[in-house]
């Protein structure tokens, strides 16, 4: 998921962007236009009980020393998070809008109880709801049952390794008291809670780093054993000046090892729904070519929008695209209705800010019907 997010300042590519071309044709691109076709990635709250050092929201300890002041920069410090009333007001306005699906993320959306009320309002507005979570809140009494009752459509749980110790190193909880074991317990609680009912569909998202391509198939095997429905491995995306960039981000030399794992996953998905062949191709292309380039016919700013915890609205969560947004184009959900906010969107956009982040957007928008079992796998 993601998940995400503008974070550290992004650089402007020094060379003119190379065209990356049209994004791959996803299954539902052939569908006739729909009245509601927008996916909103809504980072509802900033705080999270996990302290992943690669997180799009930056590192809490660093931000405590000097919180980012730039517009569009995310932080786990919630000083600018909107209050419940403002979130509800916008959620109510979705009823009469072209928004089809809301992916709730953060920060951690399920650590804040009013999220359940916001979910109800979004569902009452006729939208699909998918939640991106670290999974631990699902172990708390009543949370999983409530998500089932509310008719949540999908729950994507983050898990970065099949090995508990490795996962808890990559995704450390702030307390040090919860991790891999509680994440799996949360998934199992949700699967039991939904019983034979229709939903939600449950999936695992894995951030793939260069030193551990094997997690692609290892986590898939674990996901199948646990009984989840879908699985999305996604490449880590970090700005080049991030302290973990060299250690964790792929280079072209990593393509063969990643490709081998992705092919094995495709050949034997173990009953899991995967994002599809086009996604796999884009995953490989993104790590083969270094960041930067142009995407023609991008869905960011057309079928995808990103809302940050402070209510600011962006065409896409990519930090580069956020940094390139002129002040005059900045918008907010505060005091406005979704129908008005999304009235003048183009059919697609021509974006010059291709990065690995782009790969992670496909499953949220074009791949979601497949992950949610709305079309053949």
Ligand X SMILES: C[S@@+](CC[C@H](N)C(=O)[O-])C[C@H]1O[C@@H](n2cnc3c(N)ncnc32)[C@H](O)[C@@H]1O
Select from 1-9, 16-24, 63-71, 258-266 the region that touches ligand X (CB under 6 A): 1-9
Q: Which of 6, 87, 236, 359 binds ligand X (CB under 6 A)?
A: 236
- Check binding of 194 to ligand X (CB under 6 A): no
Report the residue number, 205 or 299, with the smaller CB distance to ligand X: 205
What mask, x for binding ligand X by CB under 6 A, covers residues 80 to 119? Answer: -------------------------xx-x-----------
Q: Which of 119, 130, 170, 238 binds ligand X (CB under 6 A)?
A: 238
Report the residue number, 61 or 96, with the smaller CB distance to ligand X: 61
**DSSP-based three-state secondary structure for 146:** helix
Nearest residue to 249 (alpha-carbon basis) of 210, 214, 291: 210
Select from 24-32, 46-54, 194-202, 328-336 the region that touches ligand X (CB under 6 A): 46-54
Report the residue number, 207 or 304, with the smaller CB distance to ligand X: 207
Tell me how far apart the alpha carbons of residues 157 and 135 are, in angstroms, rounded to a whole number: 5
Tell me how far apart the alpha carbons of residues 116 and 291 are, in angstroms, rounded to a whole number: 37
Residues β-bridged to residue 104: 42, 131
Q: Give the nearest distance from C-beta 305 to ligand X in angstroms.
A: 17
Measured at the CA of 129, the angle between CA 59 and CA 137, to 5 degrees, comes to 50
Report the residue number, 97 or 304, with the smaller CB distance to ligand X: 304
Tell me how far apart the alpha carbons of residues 294 and 353 are, in angstroms, rounded to a whole number: 6
**DSSP-based three-state secondary structure for 242:** coil
Alpha helices by DSSP H, listed for 255-300, are 255-267, 277-288
Largest pairwise CA distance in the chain: 54
Report the residue number, 236 or 304, with the smaller CB distance to ligand X: 236
- Check binding of 133 to ligand X (CB under 6 A): yes
**Distance between terminal CA atoms of the chain?**
20
Report the residue number, 139 or 234, with the smaller CB distance to ligand X: 234
Measured at the CA of 123, the angle between CA 117 and CA 128, to 5 degrees, comes to 130
Nearest residue to 222 (alpha-carbon basis) of 236, 200, 207, 203: 203
Report the residue number, 50 or 90, with the smaller CB distance to ligand X: 50
Q: Which of 115, 134, 292, 355 binds ligand X (CB under 6 A)?
A: 134
The phi-psi region of residue 361 (left if phi > 0; otherwise alpha if psi is between -120 and 50; otherwise beta) is alpha
- Check binding of 364 to ligand X (CB under 6 A): no
CA 41 from chain centre, in angstroms, equals 7
- Check binding of 55 to ligand X (CB under 6 A): yes
What mask, x for binding ligand X by CB under 6 A, covers residues 146 to 175? Answer: ------------x-----------------
> Which residue ranges make up the site for ligand X (CB under 6 A)?
1-4, 48, 50, 54-56, 105-106, 108, 132-134, 158, 205, 207, 234, 236-238
């Amino acid at each position: 998921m993601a998940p995400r997010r503008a974070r550290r300042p992004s650089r402007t590519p020094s060379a003119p962007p190379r065209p990356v071309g049209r994004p791959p044709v996803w299954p539902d691109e052939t569908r006739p236009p729909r009245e509601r076709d927008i996916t909103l990635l809504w980072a509802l709250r900033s705080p999270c009980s996990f302290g992943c050092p690669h997180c799009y929201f930056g590192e809490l300890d660093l931000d405590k020393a000097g919180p980012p002041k730039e517009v569009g920069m995310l932080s786990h410090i919630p000083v600018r998070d909107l209050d419940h009333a403002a979130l509800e007001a916008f959620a109510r306005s979705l009823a009469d809008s072209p928004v089809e699906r809301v992916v709730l993320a953060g920060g951690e959306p399920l650590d804040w109880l009013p999220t359940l009320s916001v979910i109800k309002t979004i569902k009452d507005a006729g939208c699909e709801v998918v939640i991106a979570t670290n999974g631990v809140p699902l172990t708390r009494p009543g949370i999983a049952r409530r998500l089932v009752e509310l008719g949540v459509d999908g729950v994507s749980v983050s898990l970065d390794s099949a090995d508990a110790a490795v996962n808890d190193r990559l995704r450390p909880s702030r307390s040090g008291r919860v991790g891999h074991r509680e994440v799996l317990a949360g998934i199992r609680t949700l699967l039991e809670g939904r019983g034979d009912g229709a939903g939600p569909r449950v999936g695992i998202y894995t951030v793939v780093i260069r030193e551990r391509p094997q997690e692609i198939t290892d986590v898939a095997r674990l996901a199948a054993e646990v009984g989840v429905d879908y699985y999305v491995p996604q490449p880590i995306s970090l700005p080049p000046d991030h302290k973990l960039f060299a250690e964790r981000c792929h280079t072209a030399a990593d393509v063969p090892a990643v490709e081998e794992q992705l092919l094995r996953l495709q050949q034997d998905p173990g009953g899991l729904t995967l994002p599809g062949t086009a996604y796999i191709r884009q995953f490989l292309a993104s790590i083969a070519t270094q960041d930067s380039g142009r995407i023609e016919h991008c869905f960011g700013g057309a079928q995808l929008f990103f809302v940050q915890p402070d209510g600011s609205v962006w065409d896409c969560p990519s930090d580069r695209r956020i940094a390139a947004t002129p002040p005059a184009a900045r918008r907010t959900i505060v005091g406005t209705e979704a129908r008005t906010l999304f009235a003048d969107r183009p059919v697609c956009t021509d974006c010059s800010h291709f990065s690995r982040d782009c790969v992670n957007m496909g499953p949220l928008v074009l791949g979601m019907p497949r992950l949610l079992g709305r079309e053949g796998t």
